[in-house]
Every structure is written in structure tokens, then in C-alpha cells.
Amino acid sequence: SQKIEQNSEALNIQEGKTATLTCNYTNYSPAYLQWYRQDPGRGPVFLLLIRENEKEKRKERLKVTFDTTLKQSLFHITASQPADSATYLCALDMNTGRRALTFGSGTRLQVQP
């Protein structure tokens, strides 16, 4: 079956370091992948989209890579800040025929001051 995997364990890092989160998927080839941020008690907010023909995408301190051979996306936050603490979700179009995303369960990032 088609599956999206994100590390369920929280990632704890020191302020100023680079946080790297992983999204792995199996059994299909998405045309694009999206990353969202979710704060406690709130809905997810879109951060970045990367397409299958793009290896890397950047936005300010954020960088996303997309390796269709490994079936993996990496999400990097450089010079991390305590305000970056949140849960980060990856999402893909699983080619189900619906224009709807399938979300991973998310990884919680905690940046210590």
C-alpha cells in the first residue's frame, strides 16, 4: 500500500543549528511534494512546494530537497530559532484521482534557546 513516513520522535536541537526533517514515501511517484507547519491548536500552514523535476527549493531559511530515486524529501531549517518550534508535515498527491493531498503524521521540532 502507499505510505508516507515521517519520524514520529520529536527532534530537539539547539538554537542556531540546522534542523533536518525527513519524509519518506513508498510505492508511487508523486509529481510534487509539499511541506506544512502546524502549531499546537491550529491548522497546518503551507511552507514550500517542490516538483519532481526540481532537486532543491529554497525560501529564506528553509530548504527542501526531493530525491525521486530514494523516494525521500529532506526539509532543512538553517539558523534555527525557538520560534521554529512546531510540527512539520509533508504532503503528497498520491495519484488517487482526487485533487487531495495525503499527509504524513508529522515530526515535532523543538528548538532550545
Partner 1 sequence: NAGVTQTPKFQVLKTGQSMTLQCAQDMNHNSMYWYRQDPGMGLRLIYYSASEGTTDKGEVPNGYNVSRLNKREFSLRLESAAPSQTSVYFCATNVGLADGETQYFGPGTRLLVL
Contact flag: residue 40 with partner 1 (CB under 8 A): no
DSSP assignment of 86-99: EEEEEEE---SSSS
Q: How far apart are alpha carbons 42 and 40 in whole angstroms? A: 6
Q: Which amino acid is at 54?
A: E
Of the candidates 86, 82, 79, 76, the one whose C-alpha atom is nearest the C-alpha of residue 112 is: 82
Binding mask 56-85 for partner 1 (x = CB under 8 A): ------------------------------
Choose the binding region for partner 1 from 13-21, 66-74, 77-85, 97-105 (rule: CB under 8 A): 97-105
Could you say which of 7, 13, 28, 32 contacts partner 1 (CB under 8 A)? 32
Residue 53 as a binder of partner 1 (CB under 8 A): the answer is: no
Chain centre to alpha carbon of residue 47: 9
What single-letter DSSP state applies at residue 28?
Answer: S
**Interface with partner 1 by CB under 8 A: which residues?**
4, 8, 31-32, 34, 41-46, 49, 51, 89, 91, 93, 98-106
